[in-house]
Structure 1
Amino acid sequence: MTRRTGRTNRLGLALLGLILTAVGGTALARALDLSPRLLGEGHGLVLGEPTRRFAADHWWFWPALAVASAVIALLALGWLAAQTRTQTVRHVSLEPDPRHGATHLPAQAATHALEDDLTSSPHIHRAHATLTGAPTTPQLTLVVTLRTDTDPTDARLRIQHAVARLRSALETDHLPATIQIRSLPPHR
């Protein structure tokens, strides 16, 4: 999920929460007969005679309701589609200056090589690497699961050396890395 998607999620969910809180508060106020003149009787029909008459007297009511429902459905589909977007890089540009040509390395080749390098260690059970950001300035996200009886210091050194080899292969000194280290639960 991108930062923009995360911001949009927080804003959308906060707005939806406010709307649902207002609707729930209104329904509670009606049920408790706090304002029967404004909200109607607590024991009355939800859609009383005035609402039914309004819908019958205005031809545009039902089409407008259908359009509003379609817009809400499209917004919901757009939100679902936004959840799948990531900033994953497809290729890494090895030549920073386009005037000298274009040399691209598939990002999966680099990440799979890093994963293979790490999992060949007796300390590491599993590794998953992802390159995100821009092709010219990628960022590494690495999740490493250690074996049960592994010394974390040895594993950390192995990870540092593997990331250094990746930086060398990408011909860059600057490859920001976020590394998450997990351990397998002990056998019982």
Structure 2
Amino acid sequence: MNDWIVYLIEGGGYWGIAFLMVIENVFPPIPSELIMGLGGIAVARGRMEFWPLMLAGTIGSTLGNYCWYLLGRSLGYERLRPFVERFGRWLTCDWDDIERIVAFFRRHGQWVVFAVRFAPFMRTMISLPAGLTRMGHVRFVVFTFAGAAIWNAILAGAGYYLGRNFDDLEKYTTPVAVATVVIVLAGYAWRVVTWKPRR
């Protein structure tokens, strides 16, 4: 996969970056850390400029997240009720929990969308509940764009300052991603074992 990413960046330039970032946010297994990190290395080598790279990457991130947002908005959270009532244990929540989450999201969801942009895996999935709770289009796009811009700047900056070695970027990002997955899975397992329905 790394070779494919390198090929698209080298062949497509800024358009390749934007395309990859759209795909990364629709199919999360493609790592944005490597995409923007390689973009930062290209800047260090004089093959790209920083601000066009940032614009391409952030627009791509926003468009990819907007796909999930539109999917959630077309469904609406009310349609989830039979699913939640049937699989509440595995979701570790019941319908009352969903109602509270929706109420919170409608009041403060824009800040959740912004903050979660810095969390691996969740930065894409958070767009779905934003759509399910019918967050305003403009509000979602503005906060998604802002959070994605900061995250992409960190990744591109890391690629630039780590120098010209692609493997160095993986050395730092991979352990963090693996540790995050382990923590999330352990927390989920604990929730499943200890969860009890309110009713």
Q: TM-score, normalised by structure 1?
A: 0.22
Q: TM-score, normalised by structure 2?
A: 0.21
Higher relative contact order (CA 8 A, sep 6+): 2
Larger Rg: 1
Looking at secondary structure, tell me which structure has more strand per residue. 1
Looking at secondary structure, tell me which structure has more helix per residue. 2
